[in-house]
Amino acid sequence: MLGRPFSLSGRVARGRGVGRKMSFPTANMTPREGMLIPKKGVYATVVNTGGKEYAAVTNVGARPTFGGGEVTVESHLTDFSGDLYGKKMTVRFIERIRDERRFENAEALARQIEKDISSARGYLSKEGVL
């Protein structure tokens, strides 16, 4: 209905470092009060930061595997290494992959993240987004 993919913009904030410990570092955004965000779940996305675009997997939700909490937007940029804290980023939501859900443990979540990354790359490649 927008005529383009839905997107969110904001500054990268420090998270709890859980993704980094699992070898999936994320760039985190906490939505401002009243900001419209997509339904909780995992998405194939494209993140623009520093004038470059990166394929990404983005979780919108409360991280139920690790006790929940406030809703965040966490993007794992698949081909990026570096420090994004405090930098502006825009997340374009291309395709919804799955619902957010609670996993038994971090290892089970890591296995699913690998599958999500593969799915995201497939969607982004098929759509010719990157």
7-125: CATH topology is: Elongation Factor Tu (Ef-tu); domain 3 (2.40.30)
Instruction: Say whether pLDDT at 125 is over 80.
Output: yes
Q: Where are the domains of the chain?
A: 7-125
Give how far the C-alpha of residue 3 lies from the chain's centroid of Cα atoms, to the nearest Å: 22
- Which residues are paired to 52 by β-bridges? 49
Between 22 and 89, where is the model more confident? 89
What whole-number distance in Å separates Cα of residue 113 and Cα of residue 111? Answer: 5
The confidence band for 1, taking pLDDT boundaries of 50, 70 and 90, is low
State the average pLDDT over residues 99-118. Answer: 93
- pLDDT per residue over 21-60, tens digit each? 788 889 999 877 888 899 999 999 999 999 999 999 999 9
Specify the pLDDT at position 117: 95
Angle subtended at Cα 44 by Cα 77 and Cα 41, rounded to the nearest 5 degrees: 105
0.85 cut: is pTM over it?
Answer: yes
What whole-number distance in Å separates Cα of residue 82 and Cα of residue 59? Answer: 20
Contact predicate 43/29, CB 8 Å: no
